[in-house]
Chains A and B, each alone.
Chain A
Amino acid sequence: MSAVGHSPPPFFKRGPAPLAQLIFFVTLAIALLFIDLRFHTLEWVRFGVATVVWPVQRLAGMPVEAAGETAQYFSSLATLQAENAAYKKKQLATANQLLRQEYLELENKRLRALLDMRASQPAVGRVAEILYAARDPFSRRVIVDKGLQAGIEAGQAVIDDIGVIGQVTRTFPLTSEVTLLTDKDQAIPVEVQRNGLRAVLNGTGAGMMELRFLAANADVKPGDVLVTSGIDGVYLAGLPVARVSSIDRDNSYAFARIYCDPLAGVERHGQVLVLGKREDLPPPPEEVASDKDKSTKGKKFKKRLRP
């Protein structure tokens, strides 16, 4: 298929044939896809270009921001007053806990010292604002307005006023990218608040989450609250994550299908808190099992050799 309908005379330079170009560029694109998905070695290119186009990106974001601000400006006085009243009520309701928290924390510290346990780590964090949701429709990510310059690192947990919303996955100088919990296959270790049953919660996309690999008769009920278990070394323990919405105990599967709804405003906009890096956990015990495996394998091999 040439541009003018018939093959060009040889004295016009046209470059390689279209089909050859197509195959070349498609192969290149597939190679890039593979490298980025498997090895994540192209982050430096992304970092460089994203830094250069950042001002343009902000410029493009302005109309949406302006629209949001205008809407906020015209939100009537009555709504604001109602909101204010609701907040005051909530503050009063939680005042009891808040006022006693310092006392309880001190008590907790003393008790932990008494029992010779590691002190639970205090939460420190940076307030950031969600700028916009990333345009990529295949994943659930948001961009927040604090980046490397504010000391944000990839891997930090992000929470809002109700619970965990996600984890920082990429940082740029002035912004960073937060992968939400509802992103497909984004995992978070949790435990059931009621009985301390540990499990891993995975995002399934479409604003839902799923508790995987729990036996069909596991002690989980609809309405159970899941909190972070903290054994991963990333999330602090005890942060609310999700509530179990429905359970499908089908005996034909080995595991129960447990669907959960996120507690925090995972898909909403507003202020979030980027929690500081946790202190490193003690190193995991050496893998003895693999050594044993090797030795037994060797024995088997020898046994097989003998006859």
Chain B
Amino acid sequence: MIQPTHSSRRILLPARSWFIWLSLSLALLLNLIPFGRLPGVPDWVALVLAFWCVHQPLRIGMGSAFMLGLLMDIVDSSVMGQHALAYVPLAFAASGLSRRILWFPLAHQALHVLPMLLGAQIVMVVARMIGGGEFPGLLYFLSSFIAAGIWYPLTYLLLLPQYRPVERDENRPI
């Protein structure tokens, strides 16, 4: 039987470390924008972290997730360890399932990422409710769905540097 293939996959250039870290710090900057209690603003750091854990599981893993989580805790003025506790299982799941996820087309990839992001949010809610915080309402979980919806443009954007051809051609724009 012929294996179902969804598309021809281009051989990509290797990802550069500085670009990975640049994208993660940009995500952190986006997370700093004070939207207050507006529901549905995606957690950019979790999303970009999940992306790199899926695409580069050997470079970005649970250690990076932990450090990013601690940074988020400080700038978010939440309890220390809250984001770290949520991002580490997210990184574990994303890098563990990366070979499986990459086999699927982008829409199905987003469906794989959605439960991971939701799981991270649920971990945060449980940790804070035990610590005496208030329940933020069900709309809080909307941000995971929106983040999963962004998966398609995000993949395109973050893989763009790896799409460049090896040799430059003056007559070709990209």
> Which residues of A are interface residues toward B (Cβ below 8 A)?
1, 3-5, 14, 18, 21-22, 25-26, 28-33, 35-37, 42, 45-46, 49-50, 53, 56-57, 59-61, 63-64, 131-141, 143, 170, 177, 183-185, 204-206
Contact of B33 among A37, A46, A64, A141 (CB under 8 A): A64
Main secondary structure of the interface of B (DSSP, over half): helix
A177 B77 Cβ-Cβ under 8 A: yes
Q: A3-B95, A3-B99 are in contact. Are A185 and B132 (CB under 8 A)?
A: yes
Proximity bits, B121-155, A CB within 8 Å = 1, else 0: 00011011101111111001000000000000000
Please determine whether A57 and B75 come into contact, CB atoms closer than 8 angstroms: yes
Query: Could you say which residues of chain B place their CB within 8 Å of the CB of A14?
Result: 58
B6-14, B82-90, B165-173: which lies at the interface: B82-90
Pair A18/B74 contact, Cβ less than 8 Å: no
- Contacts of B107 on A, CB cut-off 8 Å? none
Q: Could you say which residues of chain A place their CB within 8 Å of the CB of B162?
A: none
A sample of 15 inter-chain contacts (CB < 8 A) reads: A14-B58, A18-B62, A21-B61, A21-B62, A22-B89, A25-B65, A28-B66, A28-B81, A33-B81, A33-B85, A36-B81, A37-B79, A45-B74, A53-B74, A139-B78
Q: How far is the CA of A50 from the CA of B63 in the complex (A)?
A: 21
* Residue-wise interface mask of B (79-121) relative to A, using a CB-CB cutoff of 8 A (1 in contact, 0 not): 1111011001100100111110000000000000000000000
Residues of B within 8 A of A183 (CB): 134
A205-B88 contact, Cβ under 8 Å, with A3-B98, A29-B66, A29-B69: no
Distance in angstroms between the alpha carbons of A133 and B129 in the assembled complex: 20
Task: Please classify how large the interface on chain B is, using the bins under 10, 10 to 19, 20 to 34, 35 or more.
Answer: 35 or more
Cβ contact of B35, chosen from A21, A135, A138, cutoff 8 A: A135
Q: Are B134 and A205 in contact (CB under 8 A)?
A: yes
Closest approach, in angstroms, between the C-beta of B24 and any C-beta of chain A?
Answer: 14
Verify B77–A1 contact, CB threshold 8 A: no
Whether B135 lies near A205 (C-beta < 8 A) is yes
Residue of A nearest to B78 (CB): A136
| Smallest CB separation, A126 vs chain B (Å) | 21
Asked whether, in the complex, the Cβ of A60 is within 8 Å of the Cβ of B34, the reply is: yes
With CB as the reference atom, state the residue of chain B lying closest to A203: B134
Tell which of A21, A143, A206 touches B134, judged by Cβ atoms closer than 8 Å.
A206
Residues B96 and A32 in contact, CB atoms below 8 Å apart: no
Shortest distance from the beta carbon of A80 to any chain B beta carbon, whole Å = 25
Report B150 CB to chain A, min CB distance, Å.
Answer: 18
Determine which of A1, A141, A177 lies in contact with B96 in the assembled complex, contact meaning CB atoms within 8 Å. Answer: A1
Shortest CB-to-CB span from A25 to chain B, Å, is 4
**Known contacts A26-B88, A63-B33, A133-B34; is-contact A184 B132 (Cβ 8 Å):** yes
A42-B75 contact in complex given A138-B136, A139-B134, A206-B134, C-beta closer than 8 Å: no
Closest Cβ of chain A to B60, distance in Å, is 11
A135 to B5, CA, bound (A): 43
> Which residues of the other chain, B, contact A137 by a CB distance below 8 angstroms?
37, 136, 140
Q: A132 CA to B65 CA in the complex, in Å?
A: 27
Given contact pairs A3-B95, A26-B89, A138 touches B78 in the complex (Cβ within 8 A): yes
Q: Which residue of A lies closest to B135 (CB)?
A: A205
Partner of A30, one of B30, B81, B129: B81
Task: Determine whether B36 belongs to the interface, using a CB cutoff of 8 Å to chain A.
Answer: yes
Contacts of A53 in B (CB 8 A): 32, 74-75
Q: List 6 additional A-B contacts (Cβ < 8 Å) besides A28-B66, A37-B131, A135-B31.
A: A29-B85, A46-B74, A131-B34, A133-B34, A135-B77, A141-B77
In the complex, the answer to whether B131 meets A3 with C-beta atoms within 8 Å is no
CA–CA, A136 to B75, complex, Å?
A: 10
Contact of B92 among A18, A37, A42 (CB under 8 A): A18
Complex partner residue of B63 from A21, A46, A63, A170, CB under 8 angstroms: A21
B29 in the interface, Cβ–Cβ < 8 Å?
Answer: yes
Q: A50-B75, A141-B77 are in contact. Are A60 and B132 (CB under 8 A)?
A: no
> Cα distance A63–B33 when bound, in Å?
8
Q: Which of B95, B128, B134 contacts A18 (CB under 8 A)?
A: B95
Task: Verify if B20 is at the interface (C-beta below 8 Å from A).
Answer: no
